[in-house]
Amino acid sequence: MRKNKLLAMLCAAACITLAGVATAQDRYPSKTIQLVVGFPPGGSNDIVARLLAPKLGEILGVAVAVDNRPGANATIGTEYTARAAPDGYTITLGSASPIAISPHTYANLRYDPLKDLSGITTVAATPELLAINPNVPAKNLQELVALSKTRDVTIASAGNGGLPHLAIELLKVQSKGRIVHVPYKGASPGMTDAVGGHVDGIIVDLPALYSLVTDGKLRAIAVTDDHRAKVMPNVPTSGEGGLPGVIAFNWFAVMGPAKMPKPIIDKLHDALVKTVNSPDVVASLAKLGIEPFTQPSAEAFDAFLKKELVRWGEVAKASGAKSD
């Protein structure tokens, strides 16, 4: 009798708990969602997050607050999200470097993107842009490669171990030229030295270089993607310049902590796809050289991420690239 009574009490408690969980999921979201950005204000991740947040909040019916937690190439903000409660109220807008590249370039990374995070979807993408000082005697990628066969060609990046660095490593391997990587502590000082002629050129996200190119302070040589950027239709791709293997585009993705309930992941996925494809958001992104880039499901994003981890892992291993 006692055993049966105890069993009945346990079953009742379990049912109450499950009912509470189901109710919480049904009510989601019912309070402000924290959208973590691992970079400081003004960068590509921050710009994309602040463009998406108002529309996402409108669709979900709650506020979406951008929370900048910069440091260590966005790994600090990513780890913060990975350690948060998996209730859908703390998510992060990450990108290729902290999610697909840092696992290969950081010696003691404290999160595994496949085990410690729940993938939701990519939301946008932009290519890396190779731009050079106008005084460098090269008008296109073929001429720059030819120049690199005669002397060192110095190319700046925003730092060791990030996407621009690995794009430069791809350029070095594919061109077989004397390409020299020059890492800076951020994109701004690298761009300043490229404009000043202290380095021959720079590779970073296209939006960061757009105004410098349109103002004539730098010369665009190639976008490192398989299609031209709509905002710069006259700039050839790396493939058109003879180096089809130099593919490096920065994608932005929303992820949450591991073990987020599937109904919450699906609700966020649907809302994010609607947000990114809304006409006003598309237009705002386009002005910056960023295009919508979504996945049909969270499972499709997981498959995409696995491929990116393998691809960039091979590049990092072959080049020996490490983060500071």
Residue 16 maps to a domain: no
The pLDDT, as a whole number, for residue 39 is: 87
Residue 12 maps to a domain: no
The pLDDT, as a whole number, for residue 283 is: 96
Residue 209 maps to a domain: yes
Q: Can you tell me which residue has the tokens 């050289």?
A: 289
What contacts 218, CB < 8 A, 6 or more positions away?
131, 132, 133, 134, 191, 194, 195, 201, 202, 209, 212
Residue 244 maps to a domain: no
Residue ranges of the chain whose pLDDT lies below 70: 1-25
Strands (E), the chain: 33-37, 64-68, 90-95, 117-132, 153-157, 179-183, 201-205, 219-223, 249-257, 291-292
Residues 120 and 154 in one domain: no
Residues 148 and 202 in one domain: yes
CB of 174 within 8 A of CB of 195?
no
pLDDT digits (tens, 9 = 90+) for 159-175: 899 999 999 999 999 99
The pLDDT, as a whole number, for residue 129 is: 97
Residues 146 and 183 in one domain: yes
CB of 254 within 8 A of CB of 123?
yes
Range of 157's domain?
127-223
Q: Can you tell me which residue has the tokens 């979504």?
A: 294
